[in-house]
Amino acid sequence: MPPTHHPMRATRELGRSFVYAFEGLLYTMHTQRNMRFHIFMAILVLAFNVSFSDYIPVDERALLLIVICLVPAFEIVNTSIESQADYVGADRHELIKRAKDTAAAAVLVMALTAMAVGGYVLLPNFIKFFRAPTPGRITSVGLRLIMSVTVGGSILVFWIFRSVKHLFFPTLVMASLAAGGTTAVMCIIGRDPSTAVALLFLCALELNAFARAEFEVRIHKEWVRPDLPFEVEGLKLIAPGLLLGFLGGAWVVWWGPFACYLAR
């Protein structure tokens, strides 16, 4: 008879597999510049998708979400292939070069596909909105557009000022609060909770990738202690900041000055 595993052992192994997968995701975010670019573009597209959710059918929004998620997934597979190729052959070889090039080509094809699908889904609805806007919805869509720009802008502000010695921690906290709050406002008004979860997760990944790189620089400069767990140290500020910002944005929409938009 095949050996049986204790339920607790199986649970621990399952939990360990999730930890390993998350470590691989953090590694890809930290080492691959293209991955950070893909995640940032995914944040912007998802935010604009929520902004015009009144004009985009649910099935098209779901299709857009799928292709957006596939681009980072292909980048992760590409990183895995490159790591295995580097391990197998440290010297330059034509076959290893072909393996890396074809893996990168798969990412490029998926990225172009995502751009085509995004144009197919978003552009007609943008044109429809600006040509014949519906009375009573212009202000709501405009507010969500401002929030979507703010989500990306908060990440860019942290990326710009993260290297300033005394502005790193304040800008990281402010970027987390702003990203969480604006996500709550546009997703609650747009009635899209699934995109809210996706945006919060992607913002946490993007901010942590920039914070991790900066922590390594600060350890080298002896600005922080050398034994600092820089891989996840930023998440200790990012996760609470996103959560508090989201709760604050939810309060503004449900009980604050933006409550009038829920009735539309």
State the catalytic residue, choosing from 75, 214, 222, 233: 75
SS3 call for 248: helix
Cα torsion 209, 202, 179, 243: sign: negative
Q: Which amino acid is at 156?
A: L
- Using alpha carbons, select from 143, 116, 114 the residue that is nearest to residue 53: 143
Question: What phi and psi values does residue 191 have, to the nearest 5 degrees?
Answer: 55, 55
Angle between helix 168-189 and helix 33-51 axes, rounded to 10 deg: 40
Asked about 206 being catalytic, the answer comes back as: no
Contacts 24+ apart (CB under 8 A), 65-68: 65/194, 65/195, 65/198, 67/110, 67/113, 67/114, 67/117, 67/118, 68/42, 68/114, 68/118
Q: How many CB atoms lie within 10 A of CB 257?
A: 8
Burial tier of 43 (Cβ tally within 10 Å: 0-12, 13-18, 19+): buried
Can you state the percent helix, strand and coil of the chain, rounding each to 5? 80, 0, 20
User: Which residues neighbour 57 within 8 Å (Cβ) at sequence distance 6 or greater?
Assistant: none
Q: What would the two tokens of residue 120 be? A: 């197919």
Annotated catalytic residues are: 75
